[in-house]
Amino acid sequence: MALVAGYFFLGSIVKTGVEKVGPRVTKTDVKLKTATLSLFSGSGELKNFVVANPEGYKTPSAIQVGSVAVSVQPGSVMSGKVIVHSIKMIAPEITFEGTLSGNNLSKLLDNIKGSSEQDKQAPKEQKSSSKKLQVDDFLLTGAKVNLSTTLLGGRSATISIPEIHITNLGQGTDGITAAELAERVFSEITQKTIAAVTSEIGNLGKGATDLIKGAAGTNMAPTLDKATKGIGDLFKKK
């Protein structure tokens, strides 16, 4: 019975921490359905982790993931520095809403950077009392990006991004803050997503150009040429 109690006790600490610190860092709602963590091995799982979009965006979330596998040094959970051996985000769903020059992910990253800067400017006594992190290995794999953007001319698409693998975060005695960890991770997510969206738009433009070449000399050529020009205009900053 004590083992079972410890299993859920540590999980409840993690869940409370995520839902308390997450919104402060992202300036959006952050939800976690359940968290379980073994009192002895430190292995656990976070289920249904969701980061909502910043204000002004219509889609319900920026990122959601059904399962996050974690490995933590159990005794560190109650200390000033939580030692996380590994975090593995499996098949997260990311939503890209907006344009290349203004979108939900970039706005979310701006929010996180602002929180990180606030932590750096905090009074010394506040810094010393706040919980720090050490993350030895972070892996995000199998991510899919759902596009909600005018950049595709009304066409919906789901694209993939390369895995994100980051190691040795917060190895020093001071560790890193939750905001610093989020900034590092979301910087990678935003960068790789924008690169993938740019490539997808480029492929769409190339396809239209190929159609024009095939339609040369027919009555469809002027219409297709106009469509291709419109795709080019999508890259211009609003």
Distance, CA of 159 to CA of 204 (rounded, Å) = 13
CA angle 70-75-78, nearest 5°? 95
Q: What percent of the chain has pLDDT over 90?
A: 52
Residue-averaged pLDDT of the chain = 81
pLDDT for 8 equals 44
CA nearest 109: which of 147, 69, 145, 63? 63
| Average pLDDT of the residues in 128-144 | 88
pLDDT at 100: 86
For the entire predicted model, the pTM comes to 0.79
Question: How many whole angstroms separate alpha carbon 121 and alpha carbon 72?
Answer: 29
Residue 237 reports pLDDT greater than 70: no
Domain layout of the chain by residue ranges: 2-200, 202-233
Q: Tell me the H-state helices in 91-218.
A: 104-121, 124-129, 178-214
SS3 label, residue 222: helix
Q: What is the CA radius of gyration of the chain?
A: 22
Q: How confident is the model at residue 153 (pLDDT cuts 50, 70, 90)?
A: low
β-pair partners for 82: 133
pLDDT tens sequence across 95-121: 999 888 899 999 999 999 999 998 888
Judged against a pLDDT cut of 70, whether residue 213 lies above it is answered with: no
Determine the straight-line distance between the first and last CA of the chain, rounded to whole angstroms.
60
pLDDT digits (tens, 9 = 90+) for 63-75: 999 999 999 998 8
- Does position 196 have pLDDT exceeding 60, yes or no? yes
